[in-house]
């Protein structure tokens, strides 16, 4: 049994053409761009920006977005080449199977669970925070115990514990509703997503345009704080200020960019994947990068770093508007509604991406067949959707948002590094393959992509490195206990 046996591109393309058993092709280039924006603009922008400013970089979180954007652009160019060449569901998992072999493919497929499933849990936790903010307008609130994980506590002014979390019910609820929508069908899901995208992009533009005149230069001074250590209210130490603070913040806000690669998981449902996939990936990434840099600059100018560490920690954007843009109280309410809708679209795309990765892995025999069972009417991997509802729901209900957010970032950065390496490997080993989109300046772009993503992993700190290593170790055990024996490449007669 070979650990590095590769799946031939001919076999991959034959699977894509298997329309009887395959997924339904319904997505246009615009739908793919909207899918990307739907996944990208969400908790990363509206929640993680404030967290990175408070814990890592202060106002220089704007520079962190630039670093993260550069890393994503380099990886995005590599993704676009693969997506135009191998338009198959499965994203980085499928690409690595064709270039670096089964063992690497399994590792990256397992790693993508961190990106999509844990990412969906992170955003659902943020959704819960903003739901409470919306309910507060009507003098209602879900009790702290039932809207936070058991690992979170609410402290009073003197530092005493006022309440302890038990279970995050709203986060579990939204995951359930969106799983129902995904089971119903991809076309319907994409239509709902497109409507939400239009609304939340409009809100982001409104905040930038109206908030610009409320920027207080004092909040941007110094723009790069002096290097030191900041201990948050949960007792966790963070590198704050200086280069390490910016790199740490880049690793945190990198979560805000996760989503453009989710476009590649829908390749088997695109009408013209070789042409439309690069447009969807690079188009959504370019639009969001510009919006992010402007938004971060405005938000850190309206409110101070101390605001984001204290009363403005949860629902930070709404807090900044209501506290410092008092003439636009209506905007705070509108933003809250739009953010809730926007978070919903992110969760939707993350859940879709996860089920499509395991759909591909299941068809290769690396995970059980149940993950590739397609609904006879809706043509969706409905059993996989429900399994991941349980998995994501457990994280959403019982794990704090900061922990799962950083796990998502480090898992995705690792996947991006492997995709960059895969493009370089395939250029050397198979230069003859037709490429409708070619990554420029190979091997320079892939090498830079690996270095920038590696720097962001370094900035996330040793606690997240350990979490990644533990997660990878679990994956290796599963591979040798189950996947290597069931692999269709290692069992060609079955």
Q: By mean pLDDT, which of 67-71, 227-231, 443-447 is the weakest?
A: 227-231
**491 in any annotated domain:** no
Strand partners, 230: 238
pLDDT of residue 19: 42
Each residue's pLDDT tens digit, 143-157: 988 988 888 877 777
The average pLDDT across 28-47 equals 74
The average pLDDT across 88-111 equals 79
The average pLDDT across 360-378 equals 85
Number of domains in the chain: 1
**4 in any annotated domain:** no
Contacts of 397 (CB under 8 A, 6+ apart): 149, 167, 168, 169, 171, 172
Q: Which domain holds residue 114?
A: 9-486
Residue 469, pLDDT > 60, answer yes
Residue 13, pLDDT > 70, answer no
The average pLDDT across 200-223 equals 89
The average pLDDT across 441-463 equals 88
Residue 366, pLDDT > 80, answer yes
Q: Cβ(30)–Cβ(110) under 8 Å?
A: no
Report residue 175's pLDDT band, with 50, 70 and 90 as the boundaries: very high
**1 in any annotated domain:** no
**291 in any annotated domain:** yes
pLDDT of residue 22: 53
216 vs 272, higher pLDDT = 216
**42 in any annotated domain:** yes
**387 in any annotated domain:** yes
**306 in any annotated domain:** yes
43 vs 230, higher pLDDT = 230
The CATH number of the domain holding residue 332 is 1.20.1740.10
Residue 238, pLDDT > 90, answer no
Work out the mean pLDDT of the chain and round it to a whole number. Answer: 81
- Whole-model pTM: value is 0.75
């Amino acid at each position: 049994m070979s650990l590095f046996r590769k799946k031939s591109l001919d076999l991959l393309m034959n699977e894509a053409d298997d329309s009887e058993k395959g997924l339904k092709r319904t997505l246009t280039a615009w739908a793919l761009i909207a899918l990307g924006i739907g996944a990208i603009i969400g908790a990363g922008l509206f929640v993680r920006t404030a967290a990175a400013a408070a814990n890592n970089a202060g106002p220089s979180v704007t520079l962190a977005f630039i670093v993260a954007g550069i890393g994503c652009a380099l990886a995005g160019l590599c993704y676009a080449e693969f997506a135009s060449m191998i338009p198959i569901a499965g994203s980085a998992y499928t690409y690595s199977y064709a270039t670096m072999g089964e063992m690497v493919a399994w590792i990256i497929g397992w790693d993508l669970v961190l990106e999509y499933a844990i990412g969906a849990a992170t955003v659902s936790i943020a959704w819960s925070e903003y739901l409470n903010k919306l309910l507060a307008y009507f003098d209602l609130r879900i009790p702290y115990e039932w809207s936070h994980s058991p690992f979170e506590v609410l402290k009073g002014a003197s530092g005493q514990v006022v309440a302890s979390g038990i279970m995050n019910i709203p986060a579990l609820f939204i995951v359930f509703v969106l799983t129902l929508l995904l089971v119903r069908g991809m076309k319907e899901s994409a239509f709902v997503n497109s409507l939400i995208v239009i609304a939340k992009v409009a809100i982001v533009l409104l905040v930038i345009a109206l908030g610009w005149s409320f920027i207080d230069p004092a909040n941007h001074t110094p723009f790069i704080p002096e290097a030191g250590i900041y201990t948050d209210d949960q007792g966790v130490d963070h590198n704050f200020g200086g280069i390490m603070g910016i790199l740490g913040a880049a690793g945190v806000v990198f979560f805000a960019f996760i989503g453009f690669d989710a476009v590649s998981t829908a390749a088997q449902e695109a009408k013209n994947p070789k042409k439309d996939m690069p447009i969807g990936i690079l188009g959504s990434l370019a639009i969001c990068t510009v919006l992010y840099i402007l938004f971060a600059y405005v938000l850190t100018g309206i409110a101070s770093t101390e605001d984001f560490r204290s009363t403005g920690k949860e629902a930070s954007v709404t807090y900044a508007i209501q506290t410092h843009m008092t003439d636009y109280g209506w905007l705070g309410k509108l933003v809250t509604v739009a953010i809730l809708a926007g978070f919903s679209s992110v969760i939707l795309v993350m859940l879709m991406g996860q089920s499509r990765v395991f759909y591909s892995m299941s068809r290769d025999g690396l995970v059980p067949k149940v993950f590739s069972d397609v609904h006879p009417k809706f043509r969706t991997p409905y059993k996989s959707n429900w399994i991941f509802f349980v998995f994501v729901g457990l994280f959403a209900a019982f794990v704090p948002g900061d922990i799962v957010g950083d796990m998502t970032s480090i898992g995705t950065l690792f996947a991006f590094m492997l995709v960059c390496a895969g493009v370089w490997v395939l250029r050397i080993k198979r230069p003859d393959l037709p490429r409708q989109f070619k990554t420029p300046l190979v091997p320079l772009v892939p090498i830079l992509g690996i270095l920038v993503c590696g720097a962001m992993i370094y900035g996330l700190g040793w606690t997240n490195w350990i979490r990644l290593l533990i997660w990878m170790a679990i994956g290796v055990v599963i591979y040798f206990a189950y996947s290597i024996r069931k692999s269709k490449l290692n069992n060609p007669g079955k």
